[in-house]
Amino acid sequence: MENERLMKVGERFIGDGHPCFVIAEMGINHNGSVEIAKSLIDGAVSAGCDAVKFQKRTPEICVPHDQWGIERDTPWGRMTYIDYRHKMEFSREEFTEIVEYCKSKGIVWFSSCWDEEAVDFMEYFDPVVYKIASASLTDHALLQNTLH
């Protein structure tokens, strides 16, 4: 069909004539815990979701410098905002474990990256797609970086 709009994500087609593609928003709801992330993935699989979406940021880039030292109440007690943002981000080893877990559960994963370094981090894992945050729609350098 000439007007058919399709996109392939993993092994699934999304678009005209295809079932709804349901994405579970993991975001940062894992609180930087691989075990919580796995539990959220299990919930998404159990609910019949097609994919899970995480977020990735480089704190030094995404947190304005004047907010680094501001103290906040967090799940780990009171700490500076920059320290909190670091605790929320997975290391390469932790994210490797999460990616492998998604594969073992047969669910697609991907991420919203908030800066170019975050895209570079995710490229190591070869995501099938990126989700662009609405706040980043005019960040041309970031958008270009997701086209690797």
CA distance 40 to 127: 19
The predicted structure's pLDDT at residue 102: 98
pTM of the model: 0.87
- In DSSP notation, 12-81 reads EEEETTS----EEEEETTTTT-HHHHHHHHHHHHHTT-SEEEEEE--HHHHS-GGGTT-EEEETTEEEEH
CA distance 129 to 111: 8
The predicted structure's pLDDT at residue 5: 83
Contact 45, 99 (CB under 8 A): no
The predicted structure's pLDDT at residue 39: 98
Question: What does the chain come to in residues?
Answer: 148
Mean pLDDT, contiguous 10-residue spans, the chain (148 residues): 76 90 93 97 98 96 95 94 96 97 97 92 93 79 74
The predicted structure's pLDDT at residue 27: 86
Residues 27-42 pLDDT 10s: 889 999 999 999 999 9
Give me the domains of the chain, ranges plus CATH numbers.
6-60+91-143 (3.20.20.70)
Helices 92-105 and 34-46: angle between axes, nearest 10 degrees: 20
CB atoms under 10 Å from CB of 102, counted, come to 22
Tokens at residue 129, please?
Answer: 């797609």
Residues 48-69 pLDDT 10s: 999 999 999 999 999 999 999 9
